Amino acid sequence: MEIRIAGFGGQGVILATQILGRAAAIHDGLHATMTQSFGPEARGGACSAQLIVSDEPVLYPYVTRADVLVAMSQEACTKFSPEVKPGGILIVEQDLVRMQQPPDGVSVFCLPATRMAEELGKRVVQNIVMLGFATAITGVVGEEALENAVLSAVPGHLADLNRKALAAGLEAGRTCLRNPSSGMETGAIPGLAAGVASARAPA
Amino acid sequence: MQADPRAVLTGVHFLNGDQACCEGALAAGARFAAGYPITPSTEIVERFSKRIPLVGGVFIQMEDELAASIAIQGAAWAGKKVFTVTSGPGFSLMMEHIGFAAMTETPCVFVNVQRGGPSTGLPTLPAQGDMMQARFGSHGDYPCIALSPDSPQECFRLMIRAMNLAEEFRTPVFLMMDEVVGHMTERVEIPAAESIEVTPRRLTEKAPEDYLPYETETSKIGGSLTPEMAIAGEGYKFHVTGLTHDERGYPSMTPETQHKLIHRLFAKIDTAKDRIIELEEDHTEEAEVVVISYGITMRVAERAIQMARTEGIATGKLRLITVWPLAEERIRELAGRVKAFVVPELNMGQVVLEVERVTGGRTRVIRVPHAGGTVHKPEQILEAIRRGAMTVQGAGA
């Protein structure tokens, strides 16, 4: 499975991809290769990471046709959504991405991850919310593997907050899958119509 | 000798190649590094500078690469196992001191995480354009050992091997990584310290008054061509110079001394090359086309090899884990049997020149050059394999 997570520097794009890779490579016994690209800026520049997950050793290290794109910024969505393959999955941060025309045959899921993270108390965990959401939808790694990977990547005093963020994202993803109209828009233009109810974290 | 458990991060990790290289250095016993951090090699010394105070050792961020490449040599003579890391622009600046290390037989490792060049080129993007610079970059004649890892796991393993070879042969050893391998993150398994073999410094057991720093067993059959070291500051008096020197280490600028010294420097690597050369082969015996490459490019080529096989082309793989010295004998053997060699590299054609030389026109050699900045598309390599398979045998190049 070829996955790209993209956004701007400071959103935790690289860390989120690293956690997903660690979950796959260490906790789920899969092969995982992560690469990243970033601008010279420390924050605010375009930032993207790629993760190839497979049962077999990974040879080619880059995404050629993405199975999954997680776009956390408008620029990321515009730039990378054309590489998502038909039948692939596009996941967007709905408050930051306005999509005119989703690619053909791509399932689009959206989540206000940043808002949800703010409601949990800290905006920085939006990447973990998004990671939970994406994992519930794609099933790329197991939930237990993901939780282990998250907890080994964050400092101890933030473990609880991250656990909550992960649970919120996972729950939102599950809700989406159970009830497509709550957040999934296939071939439509999501995030535009006010009130497109995206899955929300339990308060 | 086994690795010091205090420095070995035994366990399963998710590390990039740079971080894994640093762990390899620590496991191999490196206790001094100096560097002038440069993308895409920075993470190696960044990690080393954090880890080394816990293990016991020193990292110095020097004023430039010239200083870094000579500071490590001072530390080597003071008894430490040492390395420095850089990328193309810094590697150019280190050339003078690489020659000094070769001439003075100072054990040290130079890690070059290659990026696009020439000059400052592409700081964050890959290339393999420094392969000939590693071989011939410093002036004068000297032999070279260069290893090329294709994954973070191999960065760990080959950094240990590079440090060990440097100690065994008292020569600069090059770990020729590239940006993709350096920044690529994968599972890295670090074994228990007791299963990591580490080559100790070849220290003399002679008394200070009997010790000659460049005395070897040249005249003895099977004797080592590598002299023994002493640790500066422990009572041994010796002179280390880049000038042509005799067994005492004193300048002796005669054709005879030069002949003896340079021939010995070459012979110490040449006589051990079967041990130094490490290859990975797959289906080379029955192949009509063999892809020869190294580092990240071999991984990409492997995708092309798989595609070629599904088309019915018997395709083999010869991965140069040790690039220098080149596996001349093996390449020559295969040259007599296969229709073509396909040699993809992230440069305009460097190691392929040597493959052509060794092949001597006996088989077709197809270059697959790339200016760098990313890796090949597997289809580019596949196309070259197809051309190779269509070669009429005996038609030569």
For B220-253, the pLDDT digits (tens) are 777 889 999 999 999 999 999 999 999 999 999 9
Task: Specify the pLDDT at position A201.
Answer: 37
Residue A203 lies in a domain: no
- Chain A residues closer than 8 Å to B186 by CB: 21, 25, 31-34, 58
Domain boundaries, chain B: 10-191, 279-389
> Mean pLDDT in chain B?
96
Evaluate if residue B217 carries a pLDDT over 80. Answer: yes
Sole residue written with tokens 């030389």: B357
- By percentage, how much of chain B surpasses pLDDT 90? 96
| Helix H or strand E segment including B366 | strand B364-368
List residues of B whose CB lies inside 8 A of any A CB: 12-14, 124, 180, 183-187, 296, 299-300, 302-303, 306, 374-375, 378
Q: In which region does residue B90 sit, left (phi positive, over 0), alpha (psi from -120 to 50) or beta (all else)?
A: alpha
**Chain-chain contact of A60 with B296 (C-beta, under 8 angstroms):** no
Residue A19 lies in a domain: yes
Residue A81 lies in a domain: yes
Residue A192 lies in a domain: no
**Chain-chain contact of B12 with A26 (C-beta, under 8 angstroms):** yes
**Chain-chain contact of B303 with A18 (C-beta, under 8 angstroms):** no
Sole residue written with tokens 């005879």: B256
Residue A198 lies in a domain: no
Searching chain B, which residue's CA lies closest to the CA of residue A62?
Answer: B375
CATH number for the domain including A115?
3.40.920.10
Q: Give the number of other Cβ atoms within 10 Å of residue B143's Cβ.
A: 20
Per-residue confidence in pLDDT tens, chain A, 203 aa: 999 999 988 899 999 999 999 999 999 999 999 998 766 666 667 889 999 999 999 999 999 999 999 999 999 999 999 999 999 999 999 999 987 777 889 999 999 999 999 999 999 999 999 999 999 999 999 999 999 999 999 999 999 999 999 999 999 999 998 876 554 443 333 443 333 334 433 33
Residue A14 lies in a domain: yes
Searching chain A, which residue's CA lies closest to the CA of residue B187?
Answer: A25
Minimum distance, in Å, between the CA of residue B274 and any CA atom of chain A: 28
Residue A200 lies in a domain: no
Nearest to A17 by CA among A65, B18, A1: A1
Task: Specify the pLDDT at position A42.
Answer: 61
Mutate to test the interface with B, among A47, A50, A60 (most CBs of B within 10 A): A60
Task: Specify the pLDDT at position A200.
Answer: 39
**Chain-chain contact of A34 with B375 (C-beta, under 8 angstroms):** no
Task: Specify the pLDDT at position B222.
Answer: 73
Task: Specify the pLDDT at position A178.
Answer: 87
* Residue ranges making up the domain that contains A44: 2-186
Q: How many residues does chain B have?
A: 397
Task: Specify the pLDDT at position B320.
Answer: 98
Summarised one tens digit per residue, pLDDT across range B182-197 is 999 999 999 999 999 9
Report yes or no: A150 at the B interface, CB cutoff 8 Å: no
Cβ contacts of residue B269 below 8 Å, gap of 6+?
B143, B144, B145, B169, B171, B276, B325
Minimum distance, in Å, between the CA of residue B300 and any CA atom of chain A: 5
**Chain-chain contact of A38 with B300 (C-beta, under 8 angstroms):** no
Sole residue written with tokens 């010295």: B325
Show the tokens assigned to A101.
């025309």
- The Cα–Cα gap between B332 and B73 comes to 37
Task: Specify the pLDDT at position B96.
Answer: 98
Task: Specify the pLDDT at position A99.
Answer: 79
Task: Specify the pLDDT at position B218.
Answer: 74
Cβ contacts of residue A103 below 8 Å, gap of 6+?
A81, A82, A84, A86, A90
For B279-389, CATH number? 3.40.50.920
Minimum distance, in Å, between the CA of residue A168 and any CA atom of chain B: 26
CA separation, residue A5 to residues B14, B164, B219 (Å): 18, 40, 63
Would you say the CATH fold of B279-389 matches that of B10-191? yes
Give ipTM to 2 decimals. Answer: 0.91
Mean pLDDT along residues B214-220: 83
**How many structural domains compose chain A?**
1
**Number of inter-chain CB pairs under 8 A, A vs B:** 51
Summarised one tens digit per residue, pLDDT across range B138-148 is 999 999 999 99
Topology given in CATH for the domain delimited by B10-191: Rossmann fold (3.40.50)
Residue A202 lies in a domain: no
Cβ contacts of residue A194 below 8 Å, gap of 6+?
none
**CA quadruple B372, B378, B380, B382: dihedral positive or negative?**
positive
